[in-house]
Amino acid sequence: MMSGHNVRLTVCSMIVAVDTVLMFLTGLIPAGTYAFSALAGVPNLYIVMEFGPGWAWAVYFAVSALSFLIAADKEAALLFFLFFGCYPMLKAVFEKKFPRWAAFLLKFLFFNFVTCAEFYVAVRFLGVPKDSFLFFGVDLPWLFLILMNVVFLFYDYALSLLVMQYCRKIRFLLKKWFHPR
């Protein structure tokens, strides 16, 4: 029987491997920039809930480093690093430590800050042309930001539903197979 530490290390290593493959796929599938970056962050919910934030941060940093090294889509690596990879840990902290309204506000402030930072870094350092955000003379970064806030609302809600379903239906099955604590 493996010890709790070995189980944690094994599970976290497998998640790093799966997330790294997802980040690699961002360069092969054009729509993968957002979709695979978002999917790669989801397993950190499990790590936070079962093993604690320390292990989740370790997974986040490992996947971030590997993403910048092997992902062809550097914007996807940036998205994972700035938002999707760390958001599950921050979501847990915000929702645990603050009243619901404050957590909601903090999550949206963080999201908007990161979205603006990602746009700046993508244009300034990754070579994404700023005029590529113009569509029929409309400045799309602002429209994009508004639309992304709506998408973020659904993403946050979907993560919350995922956590609830995991706690209700899957957690007890995993506890039967192995008990990491």
Tell me the pTM.
Answer: 0.87
Q: What is the distance, to the nearest Å, from the Cα of residue 82 to the centroid of all Cα atoms in its chain?
A: 8
Q: Which residues pair with 135 in a beta bridge?
A: 138
Q: Domains, the chain, ranges and CATH?
A: 4-177 (1.10.1760)
Give SS3 for 54.
helix
Q: What is the pLDDT of residue 42?
A: 95
Which two structure tokens, joined as six digits, stand for 175? Answer: 């506890």
- Name the band, by pLDDT with cuts 50, 70 and 90, for residue 58: very high
Q: What is the pLDDT of residue 169?
A: 83
pLDDT higher at 4 or 178: 4
Q: What is the pLDDT of residue 32?
A: 86
- The mean per-residue pLDDT over the stretch 36-52 comes to 94
- The mean per-residue pLDDT over the stretch 107-127 comes to 90
Calpha distance 88→110 (Å, rounded)? 12
Q: Residue 165 is inside which H or E element, if any?
A: helix 140-165
Most confident of 3-7, 72-76, 81-85, 123-127: 81-85
